[in-house]
């Protein structure tokens, strides 16, 4: 009966697949999973801020008003990145507590899951049972193993939300400074920080530089043109 409650009518393998899906959702980076969170936040903030600054310049918003707006934008990007990081960390903590509860109240079912996991890795009896017995003997080690093996949560890779927020702050602040220096020129020079962020992100992710730049420039111009001509249309 306890097996049915714990697995909710699913087989051990089906339960493990569902657990992996939950772990993948909880561990997903807000800004992408290929590079570290603070780097992704930095590049994301640079691209977003570049687009906003170019749009303001294209509308001929005054220099002072543009800088004031971008100061608020820097604060928004920073606090939003921190908030998303805290939400992700909360999801992870919730899964940790759920797994701790299962270890304390459904040990036999946890043993079945471990047997299934390590059998899939190629372990066979009697070594399979011996390995599982060693893991079951230490609750802390068992919790870590179940989080990493069952839920696929690499705990050592998580960054503090404030670390991600610092990346967003630096990225948007760099564009603010760049904009303050080049604002009086045509808005297209503001494409440079957008392009720089794209190149750096592509390099970190080992992506194709040409295709990354091409698609991101097209995205930049499409968004800029849509905003600009949309404003002109509704104001005419």
Domain span holding position 19:
2-235
Rounded to whole angstroms, how far apart are CA atoms 148 and 113? 13
Number of domains the chain is built from: 1
pLDDT at 3: 45
Q: What is the pLDDT of residues 108-140, one digit of tens each?
A: 887 887 788 778 777 778 888 888 888 888 878
Q: What is the pLDDT of residue 114?
A: 79
d(CA 188, CA 174): 17
What's the chain's average pLDDT?
77
Distance CA 115, CA 125 (A): 10
H and E: helices and strands count for the chain: 10, 0
**How many residues are recorded in the chain?**
236
pLDDT < 50 regions, the chain = 1-7, 12-13, 16, 23-27, 29-33
Res 101: pLDDT: 82
Predicted local confidence at residue 216, as pLDDT:
76
Q: What is the pLDDT of residue 142?
A: 77
Nearest CA to 41 out of 204, 188, 189 is that of: 204
Preceding peptide of 83 cis, ω within 30°: no
């Amino acid at each position: 009966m306890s097996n049915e409650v714990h697995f909710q009518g699913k087989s051990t393998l089906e339960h493990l697949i569902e657990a992996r899906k939950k772990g993948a959702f909880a561990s997903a980076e807000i800004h992408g999973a290929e590079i570290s969170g603070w780097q992704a936040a930095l590049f994301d903030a640079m691209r977003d801020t570049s687009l906003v600054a170019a749009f303001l310049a294209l509308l001929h918003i005054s220099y002072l008003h543009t800088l004031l707006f971008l100061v608020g934008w820097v604060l928004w990007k920073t606090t939003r990145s921190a908030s998303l990081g805290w939400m992700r960390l909360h999801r992870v903590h919730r899964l940790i507590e759920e797994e701790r509860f299962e270890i304390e109240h459904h040990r036999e079912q946890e043993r079945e899951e471990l047997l299934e996991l390590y059998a899939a890795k190629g372990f066979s009896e009697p070594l399979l049972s011996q390995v599982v017995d060693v893991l079951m003997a230490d609750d802390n080690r068992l919790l870590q193993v179940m989080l990493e093996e069952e839920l696929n949560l690499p705990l050592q890779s998580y960054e503090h939300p404030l670390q991600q927020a610092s990346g967003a702050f630096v990225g948007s602040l760099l564009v603010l400074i760049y904009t303050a220096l080049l604002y009086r020129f045509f808005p297209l020079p503001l494409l440079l920080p957008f392009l720089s962020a794209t190149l750096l992100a592509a390099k970190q992710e080992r992506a194709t530089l040409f295709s990354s730049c091409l698609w991101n420039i097209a995205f930049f111009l499409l968004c800029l043109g849509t905003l600009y001509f949309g404003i002109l249309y509704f104001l005419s």
